[in-house]
Structure 1
């Protein structure tokens, strides 16, 4: 239990004045205001409750501790043995930062000095460092003699700072321990006093309630977010509730709020707010719904499935491709055919660019290690982001995550499949991929690796795996699991190797003496689902290849008439049901942002609609050049329009295949030339060849799951 120096002083004063003492007398003794003592008394009462004691308030005589002699003596012994907290300078500055963010009035330097058991001069020096950190959040420090010190700035900036210092200073396991009691029942991990102080920003019960609400809503998200992002959202919401109850409300631009209302995340944010209002019986302003929407849209994804039919994704795919081109050029290594790298970058960049544009920020606990272990690659990727995103400042934290994706691609190689292992990693796509590939590189017979989240443990039978490797310390894992850092060290590699050697013939995957047991445990239902998935991929591909055609437009028509002509043709083929509705959807999409592909003579028109009956890919060949707005907002002369259509409620398999076509368009210069060639036979052969590779990849993926 964390007890501040002032709470300790109040308790010691109360225990020496058994007959009672006024709040004014306590304030004079400790040299703080009466208001400050009243604010601290809630914490004091919580401490007393731990010892079956209460705070008795008597009119005229003040306040006194009430309870049995044994309980009072037990508390006195606790206070006697309570050592003063020793902080490093960095921890001390963080605690000061935290205290000032919570404060509703100026705080005297003497109060901070007593709380931290240091001199006023030390606190004054620490405040200079704190001031530097405040600037990152558009906050400022007001310091006046006789007035004290306080933070000045907007509520949104204060919350951003609170979330940031919690994520940077409290490790993920400590937060997981709090918000998932069913996973962390008997944590042996010692929470430091500095960490407890930071976690004190939010009442622990609020964290648990908010997490329960989020768990109920989580399945409605159109994507799965990483544990770190999930925890970040829990912290953000808990802070929001705490601050709203204190009367602190956030502001948001109404025009921007209107645009957020059109997103799928906004409706989910509304459901979260509705549930929280019922639980806490409070009114939550609409602006809070907007900020939750922003957090959902800026969340790191847990998986690297990003469908390029989404509004912004194709433009981001072009940027990802440019970044890959830049890096491979300087590494003199071909990365253009690494679809996993491409998908991972697109999936990461979409929320990352949103975070950057909204000044949301992200913490990266691996940053210093990435800079140290992969300094050349880090500098190269950083230079690449400056070239590809000239109008944005990409923070080092984001660059670090991009480096993990490239690092994963560079160390990946085919290995012999022998040992079955489970990797539990909660840091997102890049980290888990890099860890898996590093293990595969260093230990060839560890091929069958599966990455899962700590939150997903309950869905897996850990006994089915030869090895369980985790980046998170958890008492609910098997006794013989291997704890490693997200960036594998040499000693950890040796530990994994020695564990494999120790187990020898006992490995599940090599246990030939119990063949019948293995067969009986074989999951028929799971295998049928895998086969069904492959069949769905194949069916979609066959449909697209059989119906693929190049539509010739030999007149000089505006874009609306071109699309109308083609959609009427598709209506007759029963690909769509209402041509005018589909044309409207395509034109609305063009209004959101340009569809011309930079450095080509092509434009990609795409939509998902209830009026699309089956997936379709067509190329419209124009006899005359047409000027269209490009994805980079420049004007592009186009004579090829690529048309991708998807039913609104398409399966994941349909969306993946259509997204794969989008990715193929910009895969490399040769692919661009083929799509611009207007040669149906050449295009059909190219698509057939690539789809064959795609199916083989999916078969291999399903084998390893």
Structure 2
């Protein structure tokens, strides 16, 4: 079978979507006229017939390819196997970029022309268009007559370009297939398609080995990576191993490297580097370990327990609250009490801001669809975010992910079906699918999200429906595969599936299975730990006015008093931990007169919250690095081995410092009874919300 490059793109588009597509949409995507699309469709009639497919046309609605699913898959497989002798201009330019990235020396234009079956003049025009692309990464093309063409710039910029090309143009399913070694048998096959050429940048045989090494240190990470970040990290390491062996070194500012070496992520990256050195017989320099650390610090998180116990999260928490208030005011909907929205924004923003500050960037394949579906919300969130983070450029890609969090908050429901969403792209893609599901099926009670890697640990009987954006092995149980944007046809199939469950069967299944997933005894134990933590906090709370004492003297006296009361076993250990934490960054809460000193230590036996009002302002470093005056020290302590319920209470207490201006003012200037009332009311609301969520 022979099809032209444009016909191939047209076929791929029709196969990728079950919904009706207008000829105008196709023409716009392919950058041709509607007449050309009609002509190409006529030329493809014989291909459709060969595979038992036909083109359904509905006037005023659009066209779509109809037929048996297995016939569609057969055509898709044939397209994938085709050896392409003709490329679209975009594909051709990508092939040139790949060749330049792989080359150790200048590449002759005649060589590129021969490989791509075009003229040297065409290659030259393609290079003109690529100039702007590479400049965005701080790279440049060196072009000289008789010399050829060479990609010049830093190694880190080249790797960033490689990663972006991979994630922009290779389907995530192919990545998952690589990670799961399902296409290892094709590792030595010719690389004809653009996707295969891009995957050729990564040594496929090394991916499984690298993944094994990451597994050994995975438990030490302070968070669980989203699948997209996990895959990106594995791919980054595979690229790094190849580039290190070729002598392509990363260059790092010594001061930046020194700052990274003080982080927990650097310890983990260093341990991982040592294991990779042994496995691949390479020497990994400190600069590469620093680069690995940056990837870990910029990774998307999945869990959020205890995150607010860290100053960077608390600083971001202030911004999250401000963004929520800004969006709420413009929407006329109060989202300030939505704890899930707040915590999700903190979890997303912390690594996102790190990525942006260090020029790491982010891809968002759903951006166009988000802008189309949530145009008004996108404009509101974009305006609020760019005012809030005025000193940091926020690209549309990041705005798109923030929009998903707000859209999810706006669409939450309280009754109906229980659905599990499996998604490989992290929280962002899972959330947009969840929102579209709720829009199409309002009776959904809750949408739990899990990654493709976490799926094995789930109890399928706890859900009315399992939906996945990636095909799962049969042994994983029944599930429906859909696209992240959820087509009309997919929504119809889901509704039919749920309609087949009678209301009686639904009532019988939902409650017992939910209990099997989280037995009542576990629920009661979790509630007990929450209530015990709240009791410890409130029973031990005190607000003391301190005269003529420095902050360090106050902390020392406070810890010794807590030691005498049995809250901690060694005051000196806790004081040292507080000072160590202070040395890593400021603890003053910007925009307030409060400083949060906190620690988790094995010397702490139970959670504790105490406050100290200064008789005169003192200057400390703020969480934003700027000096600031404070009049109140907040001391929050927790055991080092605290479980997630204890951490959730401590995190919730810390959010009071950034909740709103009124709360911050009460903490800074209110009397002991007034402050106690604020804290107890805050924790009472937290407990009520937790109890309701447990009963659902």
Deviations 1:232-286 (CA, angstroms, capped at 9, x unpaired): 0110000111112222222222332222222222222223222222222222222
Query: Which of 483, 486, 503 is equivalent to 2:484?
Result: 486
In the aligned structure 2, how far is the partner of 1:643 from the partner of 1:82?
A: 66
In the aligned structure 1, how far is the partner of 2:185 from the partner of 2:451?
A: 18
Q: 1:535: which partner in 2?
A: 528
Compute the displacement of 1:90 (Å).
1.7
Q: 2:501: which partner in 1?
A: 504
Deviations 1:669-696 (CA, angstroms, capped at 9, x unpaired): 3323432343333333333333233223
Question: Per the alignment, do residues 123 and 527 of structure 1 end up closer, same or farther by CA in structure 2, a change over 3 Å counting?
Answer: farther
Q: 1:381: which partner in 2?
A: 381
Matched, 1:563 2:555: yes
Matched, 1:664 2:656: yes
For structure 1, the 5+ residue unaligned runs are: 1-80
Compute the displacement of 1:478 (Å).
7.0
Q: Is the 8 A contact 2:306 2:644 kept in 1?
A: no
Q: 2:232: which partner in 1?
A: 232
Query: Which of 643, 651, 654 is equivalent to 2:635?
Result: 643
Larger radius of gyration: 1
Q: 2:89: which partner in 1?
A: 89
Which stretch of the first structure deviates more once superposed, 464-473 or 162-171? Answer: 464-473
In the aligned structure 2, how far is the partner of 1:115 from the partner of 1:666?
A: 59
Query: Which of 571, 590, 595 is equivalent to 2:587?
Result: 595
Q: 2:390: which partner in 1?
A: 390
Deviations 1:642-699 (CA, angstroms, capped at 9, x unpaired): 1111223322222221110111232223323432343333333333333233223333
Which stretch of the first structure deviates more once superposed, 562-571 or 386-395? Answer: 562-571
In the aligned structure 2, how far is the partner of 1:129 from the partner of 1:348?
A: 34
In the aligned structure 2, how far is the partner of 1:377 from the partner of 1:620?
A: 42
Compute the displacement of 1:142 (Å).
0.5
Question: Per the alignment, do residues 427 and 290 of structure 1 end up closer, same or farther by CA in structure 2, a change over 3 Å counting?
Answer: same
In the aligned structure 2, how far is the partner of 1:236 from the partner of 1:666?
A: 36
Compute the displacement of 1:475 (Å).
5.0
Q: Is the 8 A contact 1:321 1:342 kept in 2?
A: yes
Which stretch of the first structure deviates more once superposed, 349-358 or 528-537? Answer: 528-537
In the aligned structure 2, how far is the partner of 1:430 from the partner of 1:144?
A: 44
Q: 1:574: which partner in 2?
A: 566
Q: Secondary structure at the match of 2:311?
A: coil
Q: Secondary structure at the match of 2:659?
A: coil
Question: Per the alignment, do residues 343 and 524 of structure 1 end up closer, same or farther by CA in structure 2, a change over 3 Å counting?
Answer: closer
Q: Secondary structure at the match of 2:143?
A: strand
Q: 1:686: which partner in 2?
A: 678
Matched, 1:455 2:453: yes
The correspondence of residues 150-161 of structure 1 with structure 2, limited to 5 A, is 150-161=150-161
Compute the displacement of 1:150 (Å).
0.9
Question: Per the alignment, do residues 611 and 461 of structure 1 end up closer, same or farther by CA in structure 2, a change over 3 Å counting?
Answer: closer
In the aligned structure 1, how far is the partner of 2:83 from the partner of 2:176?
A: 28
Compute the displacement of 1:148 (Å).
0.7
Q: Secondary structure at the match of 1:221?
A: coil
Deviations 1:320-361 (CA, angstroms, capped at 9, x unpaired): 112112212221221111111110111111111111122112
Compute the displacement of 1:547 (Å).
0.9
Q: Is the 8 A contact 1:585 1:607 kept in 2?
A: yes
Q: Is the 8 A contact 1:306 1:343 kept in 2?
A: no
Compute the displacement of 1:445 (Å).
2.7
Q: 1:278: which partner in 2?
A: 278
Compute the displacement of 1:635 (Å).
4.3
Q: 2:599: which partner in 1?
A: 607
Q: 1:470: which partner in 2?
A: 468
Q: 2:689: which partner in 1?
A: 697
Q: 1:547: which partner in 2?
A: 540
Query: Which of 523, 527, 548 is equivalent to 2:516?
Result: 523
Question: Per the alignment, do residues 180 and 529 of structure 1 end up closer, same or farther by CA in structure 2, a change over 3 Å counting?
Answer: farther
Q: Is the 8 A contact 2:139 2:153 kept in 1?
A: yes
Question: Per the alignment, do residues 143 and 703 of structure 1 end up closer, same or farther by CA in structure 2, a change over 3 Å counting?
Answer: farther
Compute the displacement of 1:491 (Å).
4.6
Question: Per the alignment, do residues 639 and 522 of structure 1 end up closer, same or farther by CA in structure 2, a change over 3 Å counting?
Answer: closer
Q: 1:333: which partner in 2?
A: 333
Query: Which of 644, 648, 653 is equivalent to 2:645?
Result: 653
In the aligned structure 2, how far is the partner of 1:525 from the partner of 1:379?
A: 40
The correspondence of residues 145-224 of structure 1 with structure 2, limited to 5 A, is 145-181=145-181, 193-224=193-224
TM-score of the superposition, structure 2-length normalised? 0.82
Compute the displacement of 1:198 (Å).
0.4
Q: 1:255: which partner in 2?
A: 255
Which stretch of the first structure deviates more once superposed, 191-200 or 162-171? Answer: 191-200
In the aligned structure 1, how far is the partner of 2:501 from the partner of 2:566?
A: 60
Compute the displacement of 1:463 (Å).
5.4
In the aligned structure 2, how far is the partner of 1:535 from the partner of 1:450?
A: 24
TM-score of the superposition, structure 1-length normalised? 0.81
Question: Per the alignment, do residues 543 and 271 of structure 1 end up closer, same or farther by CA in structure 2, a change over 3 Å counting?
Answer: same
Question: Per the alignment, do residues 579 and 84 of structure 1 end up closer, same or farther by CA in structure 2, a change over 3 Å counting?
Answer: closer
For structure 2, the 5+ residue unaligned runs are: 1-80
Q: Is the 8 A contact 1:466 1:508 kept in 2?
A: no
In the aligned structure 1, how far is the partner of 2:592 from the partner of 2:358?
A: 31
Q: Is the 8 A contact 1:320 1:346 kept in 2?
A: yes
In the aligned structure 2, how far is the partner of 1:146 from the partner of 1:202?
A: 31
In the aligned structure 1, how far is the partner of 2:682 from the partner of 2:487?
A: 38
Q: Is the 8 A contact 2:318 2:659 kept in 1?
A: no
Q: Secondary structure at the match of 2:610?
A: strand
Q: Is the 8 A contact 2:541 2:610 kept in 1?
A: yes
Compute the displacement of 1:127 (Å).
1.1
Which stretch of the first structure deviates more once superposed, 628-637 or 564-573? Answer: 628-637
Q: Is the 8 A contact 1:344 1:430 kept in 2?
A: no
Question: Per the alignment, do residues 626 and 278 of structure 1 end up closer, same or farther by CA in structure 2, a change over 3 Å counting?
Answer: closer
Q: Secondary structure at the match of 1:239?
A: helix
Deviations 1:525-549 (CA, angstroms, capped at 9, x unpaired): 8543333222222211111111111
In the aligned structure 2, how far is the partner of 1:106 from the partner of 1:463?
A: 59
Q: Secondary structure at the match of 2:544?
A: strand
In the aligned structure 1, how far is the partner of 2:577 from the partner of 2:459?
A: 46
Q: 2:360: which partner in 1?
A: 360
In the aligned structure 1, how far is the partner of 2:585 from the partner of 2:338?
A: 28
Question: Per the alignment, do residues 432 and 657 of structure 1 end up closer, same or farther by CA in structure 2, a change over 3 Å counting?
Answer: same
Q: 1:3: which partner in 2?
A: none
